[in-house]
Each structure stands twice: as structure tokens, then as C-alpha cells.
Structure 1
Amino acid sequence: MNANPKKTRVVAISSRGGHWIELLRLREAFSDQDVTYVTTVPEYRTMVEGCKFQVVTEASRDTKFRMAIMAFQVLWILLRIRPAVIVTTGAAPGFIAIWLGKRLGIRTLWVDSIANAEELSMSGQLAAKHADTILTQWEHLSSDRIQYHGAIV
């Protein structure tokens, strides 16, 4: 029996603000894994001291060229790291990672924002078509495909 089992490589990715804060609240779940955090704000590195950290371009559906740049950056990160799992709380970088990861055979997990109480976020609705697992933080939004296990607090 191996006393030092190989850690699972995880890419934990999100955009700025509330998405990042929710991703950080999941940090304990990855504590024994080989995690690389990815976001759009270089200054967030200090929030994950001692962890691997990458930055991608800030973009949205309104900035198509920047979105293409971000997609290439995320693809490069996924090809270099070769994670077993992608975990995201959204928005644009998370959706791109889910979409690319699915095509690369990487397991994917989308955790939709608690801010979206009436329906899944737009990114979440898009990601739901591609992610292996989709979690909502609102019980009434759960379905056969979308799971509820509680809120991130």
C-alpha cells in the first residue's frame, strides 16, 4: 500500500467578486488535492497563498475578442496542468473551462451562484448542457439534472 497516494489535480476557476468568494469557501473540500486556482484578478493571489495560481483575461459576452483570448488562456492552462477535475462557481472563465474540459475528457463540476435565487445564472444554464455535475444553492431550483446539497456558507 502506498503511504503517499497521488493527489488529484484540480483546477478551481472563477471570475472576480462573489464567484471568487464562493470558490474560496469551497477551499477546504480541495485541501488534500493538488489545486490550481484560476481567476481574472492578479491581486487575488494573496487570498490563496501557498497554492498554485493562474490569471486569465477578464471578459464577458460583450467583449468577444477578449473572450477568445480568455478561451485560449484557459485551454493552455488545462493542457499544461492536465487536471482530473474542474470545479467552478462561474461566470465566463468557469463556463469556458467547463466547455473545454468536457471536450478534453476532464470531469467537470459547476456550482451555481447563491445570488441566483429565481433561476440558474445565464452561465449556469449554458454550463448545464456540458458539465458532468451541476449544483444549485437553492432547493427549489433542483431537478433530475441539477442537484441541491445546501448553500455555501
Structure 2
Amino acid sequence: MTRRNHVLAVSSAGGHWVQLMRLRPAWDDCVVTYVTTDAGLEKVIRKHERLDEAGFCLITEANRWQKARLVKQLIELLIVFIRIRPEVVVTTGAAPGYFALRLGRLFGARTIWIDSIANGAEMSLSGRQARPYADLWLTQWEHLASPDGPDFLGAVL
């Protein structure tokens, strides 16, 4: 029996989550743990994934103006990494995704950042900051791609 990769799929709630869910077919052959900031989204996972395989972790919602909440979010993600030890981290963004990429690098995981489709004029702040920690750094807008990155491989919308 071959071992299946464990993917940690991370995003904030809202549009980032919607885009992450559209990527689900990419990890059909993997064990997946979803991490997000809205407890109600666990129902979405349980509805669409095999109950015995998909994991769900809830972390604190935070943004760049909520420093104490960001620290709490980082600690919660660290606990997830210690417990799960994923081989791959994929994120569509915001603060949880940024922290997940940083931790993914520390834990030796392959890391993928897919910037939000909403950022059509420029890469998001989180996306720009995540660049050094992403093995694959993607934009969903062809005109934002450059030889130094991010790369454009298509959009999820």
C-alpha cells in the first residue's frame, strides 16, 4: 500500500475559502486537513469529503490590525502542524495562509500560495510577504505574472 500525502489546506473564511474549495479536485488522492476561521465551514467539509479522512481545524480569525489575535492564530496553527505534520501546505490566502506557509517551511512541507482572484491590480499584502516561503507562488491574473514570479497557471473562477 502506498502512503498518501497529507495536505493542509488553509484559508480565511469568505472568498478565500470559496476559492480553496474550488481547488479540492487537485488533492483527491491525498489525506486532507482543512484549516479556517469559521466553525460553520466544517459542515461544508463534512458534506463534500469522506468523513473518515477529511480533517477540520478551527483557528482564530485575525487581521493585521489585531496583533494579539494574530499571535493566538499563529500558536493555534503551530499546534496543528505539530499534531498533523503535513507534507504539503496549500493556501488561497490572508493571515492564516501566510502563517501556514512560514510554518510549513519550518516543518519541511512543500508550500503553495495561490493569490486571491480579488487581487487583480496587484498581489495581496499576504501574498507578497509569503513569497519567500512558497515553493510555488501563483497569481490568478495573467498580467500579474512575471519571470521572477508570481506564476500564472490559470484561475479558479
Report the TM-score, using the length of structure 2 for normalisation.
Answer: 0.93
**Is 2:31 the counterpart of 1:28?**
no
Alignment match, 2:105: 102
Alignment match, 1:88: 91
Asked whether the 8 Å contact 2:85–2:107 carries over to 1, the reply is no
- Structure 1 runs (4+) deviating above 3 angstroms are none
- 1:112 to partner: Cα distance: 0.3
Alignment match, 1:127: 130
**Is 2:5 the counterpart of 1:8?**
yes
**Is 2:157 the counterpart of 1:141?**
no
Is there any run of 5+ residues in structure 2 with no aligned partner, and where?
none
Alignment match, 1:151: 155
- 1:114 to partner: Cα distance: 0.4
Moved more, 139-148 or 89-98: 139-148
- 1:104 to partner: Cα distance: 2.0
Provide the alpha-carbon RMSD of the alignment.
0.9
Tell me the secondary structure at the aligned position of residue 40 of structure 2. helix
CA distance in 1, matches of 2:133, 2:30: 24
**Is 2:42 the counterpart of 1:45?**
yes
CA distance in 2, matches of 1:117, 1:62: 23
Report the TM-score, using the length of structure 1 for normalisation.
Answer: 0.95
CA distance in 2, matches of 1:114, 1:63: 24
CA distance in 2, matches of 1:105, 1:150: 27
**Which letter does structure 2 place at the counterpart of 1:94?**
G
Is there any run of 5+ residues in structure 1 with no aligned partner, and where?
none
- 1:32 to partner: Cα distance: 1.1
**Which letter does structure 1 place at the counterpart of 2:20?**
L
| Alignment size in residue pairs | 150
Alignment of 1:67-78 (within 5 A): 67-78=70-81
